[in-house]
Amino acid sequence: MDKIKIPTTPEIYTRSMTTTKSTPFNRNNSTQERYIKSRKFDNVPGLNLITSFCYDLQSKDLIYRAIKRTDPYMFSNDIENFERPPSLLSSSYRNLPSQCDKILDAPDIVDDYYLNLLSWGDSNILAVALKNALYLWNAQNGSANQFLEYPSEIITSVSWMPGSKFLAIGDSTHAVKIYDIEKSAEVRTLHSHNDRVSSLAWNSYVLSTGSRDSSVIQHDMRIQNYFVKYTGHEQEVCGLRWNPEGTILASGGNDNKICLWELSNTSPIRVLTEHKAAVKALAWCPWKRNILATGGGSADKHLKIWDSENGICLQTVDTGSQVCAIEWNKHEKELLSAHGYAQNQLSLWRFNDMKRIMDFTGHSARVLSLAQNPEGSTVVSAGADETLRFWPVFESSISKSCSTTDSPQRGINLGYQK
């Protein structure tokens, strides 16, 4: 196989444009915005890789015991300590942007509902997959560089590990590669699936992968050549999310099902079946335990709120269009959903009664993915119109919480980074 190209010198591309400013916010944006250069690859053959062996899970399984260990094989212990979201502030009226804050070009982004092509890491670096190339955009200084370029295979999923030292990349050759970003080096290649890997999710040093082969596989990164296969879906697994406590994994599939898993059980502990189309959009509430938001595809169009503990659907709303992604507001009782035809909009919802607060329009084709910055102020949307749009939807929540004297968040620096 041809060697993957990893540039040694970052390439930064700029294009002059007039930056639009949203009404509620005063930003001193430069007239030079960063753009990602287009690269065309017409022939993308798939490769059949031989998958390695798989252990069946038994009682006191190795991967279940290994995650409890304090001496990880490859990663440091500091990433095990997840920071809990701040306490909730009561919602009230606040300013919202009338348009996006920034637009970046994303040429050749693959218009495929089932792929997950964005991930915003803890170090404030956004990973973007554009066909067979992976780009990193630094939110602090606005620089963009091509991190790697595959010779032919398409990148189908990306996900930062907590701490942003390592990045997982799934591709169309059924492989998952783990990269040390600081060293620009590949540290592990996983060959456990027999079809493309379309979804990824980290739980400390355990990486969960979902594939078009309908399986979910758990990999402990401290142990070489070891994984555990979970079976519960009949079609492609296009969504994966661990809850904030790291105890329950939610998976969504093209079989219209949502499966809930515990690490110690290869069969789902609960299966939710009310959606009538593929479920890619999954998001756990960061401030209320056991609450899961899900969205259905074009034949369903519904946004649902679940109590995962008992499997009850607490609320459901017909959004009128395909639901492609969901992000929760960490500071208010709100959630943001991304949609397809006809408006290709982002919609902000009030959690208590699921009333639509506002729609954010700008994309001329469906929104494929969402990602949220580490401080929880800005959400980026990737559209099939080959643009990335940055929306400071949650920024006024942070401004309000920082100025509230009786807030549990008092003294925490959650302000937007200029």
CB 331 within 8 A of CB 397: yes
Structural domain range at position 307: 102-395
For the cut 60, the answer to whether the pLDDT of residue 414 exceeds it is: no
| pLDDT for res 113 | 97
Would residue 227 count as lying in a domain? yes
> What would you measure as the largest C-alpha separation in the chain, in angstroms?
61
Both tokens of 85, joined, read: 């979201």
| pLDDT for res 400 | 63
Would residue 97 count as lying in a domain? no
| pLDDT for res 44 | 28
Both tokens of 334, joined, read: 């709100």
Would residue 357 count as lying in a domain? yes
CB 348 within 8 A of CB 397: no
Q: Judging by beta carbons within 10 Å of its beta carbon (0-12, 13-18, 19+), is residue 370 exposed, middle or buried?
A: buried
Total domains in the chain come to 1
Q: Read off the pLDDT band of 7 (50, 70, 90).
A: very low
Would residue 226 count as lying in a domain? yes
| pLDDT for res 412 | 25
Q: Read off the pLDDT band of 225 (50, 70, 90).
A: confident
Averaged pLDDT of the chain: 80
3-state SS string over the chain?
A: CCCCECCCCCCCEEEECCCCCCCCCCCCCCCEEEECCCCCCCCCCCCCCCCCCCECCCCCCHHHHHCCCCCCCCCCHHHHCCCCCCCCCCCCCCCCCCCCCEEEECCCCCCCCCCECEEECCCCEEEEEECCEEEEEECCCCCEEEEEECCCCCEEEEEECCCCCEEEEEECCCCEEEEECCCCEEEEEECCCCCCEEEEEEECCEEEEEECCCEEEEEECCCCCCEEEEECCCCCEEEEEECCCCCCEEEEECCCCEEEECCCCCCCCEEECCCCCCEEEEEECCCCCCEEEEEECCCCCEEEEEECCCCEEEEEEECCCCEEEEEECCCCCEEEEEECCCCCCEEEEECCCCEEEEEECCCCCCEEEEEECCCCCCEEEEECCCEEEEECCCHHHHHHHHHCCCCCCCCCCCCCCC
| pLDDT for res 100 | 96
| pLDDT for res 256 | 98
Would residue 330 count as lying in a domain? yes
Choice among 87-101, 155-169, 270-284, 382-396 with the minimum mean pLDDT: 87-101
Choice among 100-109, 364-373, 403-412 with the minimum mean pLDDT: 403-412
Would residue 92 count as lying in a domain? no
What CATH number does the domain containing 302 carry?
2.130.10.10
Determine how β-strand 249-253 pairs with β-strand 258-261: antiparallel
Both tokens of 267, joined, read: 């069969």
For the cut 90, the answer to whether the pLDDT of residue 51 exceeds it is: no
Sign of CA dihedral 7, 188, 266, 213: positive
For the cut 60, the answer to whether the pLDDT of residue 1 exceeds it is: no
Span 324-351, pLDDT tens digits: 999 999 999 999 999 999 899 999 999 9
Span 113-143, pLDDT tens digits: 999 999 999 999 999 999 999 999 999 999 9
Q: Read off the pLDDT band of 24 (50, 70, 90).
A: very low
Within 8 A by CB and 6+ apart from 73, the residues are 205, 220, 221, 222, 223, 224
CB 245 within 8 A of CB 81: no
Q: Read off the pLDDT band of 38 (50, 70, 90).
A: very low
| pLDDT for res 397 | 85
For the cut 80, the answer to whether the pLDDT of residue 392 exceeds it is: yes
Query: How far, in Å, CA of 345 to CA of 85, rounded?
Result: 27
Listed residue (64, 55, 1, 385) closest to 227, CA to CA: 55
Q: How far apart are the first and last CA of the chain?
A: 44
| pLDDT for res 283 | 98
Q: Read off the pLDDT band of 401 (50, 70, 90).
A: low
Q: Judging by beta carbons within 10 Å of its beta carbon (0-12, 13-18, 19+), is residue 200 exposed, middle or buried?
A: buried
For the cut 60, the answer to whether the pLDDT of residue 69 exceeds it is: no
Would residue 326 count as lying in a domain? yes
Span 292-312, pLDDT tens digits: 999 999 999 999 999 999 999
Would residue 284 count as lying in a domain? yes
Quote the percentage of the chain above a pLDDT of 90.
Answer: 70
Residue 261 — left, alpha, or beta (φ > 0 → left; ψ -120 to 50 → alpha)?
beta
Task: Kindly state the average pLDDT of the residues 183-188.
Answer: 95
CB 127 within 8 A of CB 160: yes
Q: Peptide bond before 342: cis, by omega within 30 degrees of 0? A: yes
For the cut 50, the answer to whether the pLDDT of residue 11 exceeds it is: no
For the cut 70, the answer to whether the pLDDT of residue 286 exceeds it is: yes
| pLDDT for res 32 | 37
Query: How far, in Å, CA of 222 to CA of 207, rounded?
Result: 11
With b for 16 or more beta-carbon neighbours within 10 A and e for fewer, the 132-165 pattern comes to bbbbbbbbeebebbbbbbbebbbbbbbbbbbbbb
Instruction: Give me the half-sphere count of Cα atoms (radius 13 Å) on the Cβ side of residue 329.
Output: 24
Cβ atoms within 10 A of the Cβ of 225, count?
A: 11
